């Protein structure tokens, strides 16, 4: 009886670890793709870039810690895709309205920092932390 409980927890732990490592791989690839446009590599203002990177990393870590176990999807993949695309469109329009054209590159810096903050916290939570905990009890 205890074996089945421990097997299910091991399966969920390995699923979390593989998901975290997959997210880290996606982040590395997307970082390279997001830095391809020239405006993404330009630093307009050190203060704006530092604020974008700092807030992106912090918000990415907070979102990962708070929403990782939440089920926020719809039953239908089509509905999820439509909601995601509409959400991206709304965010893009709001950014064009709110941010000056010269500072659009800082949003890319924010997005990259958000992804890295999120994926690194997921790796620490699902890969590194369980190994530290397992080795301290051996």
- Using a pLDDT cut of 70, give the percent of the chain over it: 81
Q: Tell me the domain boundaries of the chain.
A: 2-137
> Can you tell me the distance from the alpha carbon of 137 to that of 118, in angstroms, rounded to the nearest whole number?
28
> Can you tell me the distance from the alpha carbon of 49 to that of 106, in angstroms, rounded to the nearest whole number?
6
Closest CA to 108 of 28, 47, 53: 53
> Can you tell me the distance from the alpha carbon of 20 to that of 69, in angstroms, rounded to the nearest whole number?
13
pLDDT at 137: 55
Q: Which tokens go with 82?
A: 């439509």
pLDDT at 53: 92
Would the pTM of this model clear 0.75, i.e. be above it? no
45 — alpha (psi -120 to 50), left (phi > 0) or beta?
Answer: beta
The per-residue pLDDT of the chain, averaged, comes to 80
pLDDT tens column, 76-93 = 777 777 877 788 788 878
């Amino acid at each position: 009886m205890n074996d089945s409980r421990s097997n299910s927890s091991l399966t969920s732990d390995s699923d979390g670890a593989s998901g975290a490592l997959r997210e880290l791989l996606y982040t590395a690839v997307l970082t390279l793709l997001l830095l391809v446009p020239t405006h993404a590599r330009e630093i307009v203002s050190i203060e704006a870039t530092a604020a974008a990177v700092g807030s992106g990393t912090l918000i990415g870590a907070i979102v990962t810690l708070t929403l990782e176990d939440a089920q926020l999807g719809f039953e239908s993949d089509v509905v999820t895709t439509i909601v995601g695309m509409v959400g991206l469109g709304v965010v893009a329009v709001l950014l064009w309205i709110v941010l000056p054209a010269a500072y659009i590159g800082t949003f890319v810096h924010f997005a990259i920092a958000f992804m890295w903050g999120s994926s690194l916290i997921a790796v620490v939570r699902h890969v590194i932390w369980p190994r530290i905990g397992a080795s301290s009890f051996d």
